[in-house]
Amino acid sequence: MSGPSSHRTVGSAGLAGAAEALAAGVQLVVGRYRVELDSGRTWWSDEVYRMHGREPGEIEPSMEALRSRTHPDDRGRVSRTAVVALRAGRPFSSAHRIVDAHGKARTVVVTGQAHVGDDGEITHVAGYVLDVSPVTREALDRESQRAVGRAMVSAAAVEQAKGAFMVVHGMAEAEAGDKVGEVAARAGIPLQSAAAQIVAGMAGADGSPAQRLAAALDAVHTEDRPRGHEAQLARRRQRSRG
């Protein structure tokens, strides 16, 4: 059985891999879940069923079903991470291994956010599950393949930037979207432009995922816009001189 040091390695490798994949535009499978704390009622999106080797609706989703598929070496750490974060009212994220119904091992990153009712008590927990298995398989030779293509700007730039906040800081989707919006507002540029700069900045930065995201945010800048009216004035001057 692996010791605590290997637990930390699995967690950091999964989170780092997810952050780098999002920065590089890799399409990861993302599912959603929701757990009602009073009743224990659990809901999964179709993607979460399939990560566990099941078809949607094939089994009743539950916390026990999630726990039973978590690798035995990772169960205690995952539970502690979630409990500590929820008691403090903070979002959480955890990378761990699961073994699906067919015996296939996967590495997933789970993020969660507690939601509080009018009485101040936590009513439910909701979040995302990212299958980062393709990334972790490539992590062994990542150091020799650091070059990332320049084709970063796409229609998914905003989602990728939000995903970076979610994975690196354990934010919920809405909070991550607000953060990208704040960055765009400070720079005075459209949301899409800010997101594209964040994604490209992470790909070109060094250090840990958190350091790369911080560096990318610091580098977001106002973009020069074409000065059409000045060009028109110049043409008019030339015509008047002619």
DSSP output for 51-96: HTT--TTSS---HHHHHHHB-TTTHHHHHHHHHHHHHTT--EEEEE
> Contact 30/130 with Cβ under 8 angstroms?
yes
pLDDT tens digits, the chain, 242 residues: what are they? 333 333 333 444 445 555 565 555 556 788 899 999 888 899 999 999 999 999 999 999 988 888 888 888 888 888 787 777 777 777 877 788 899 889 888 888 888 888 888 888 888 888 888 888 876 655 544 433 443 333 333 446 787 888 888 888 888 888 888 999 899 999 999 888 888 888 888 888 888 888 889 999 999 988 765 444 444 545 555 555 55
CB neighbours (10 Å) of residue 176?
Answer: 23
Q: In degrees to the nearest 10, what's the CA dihedral of 159, 165, 166, 170? A: 180
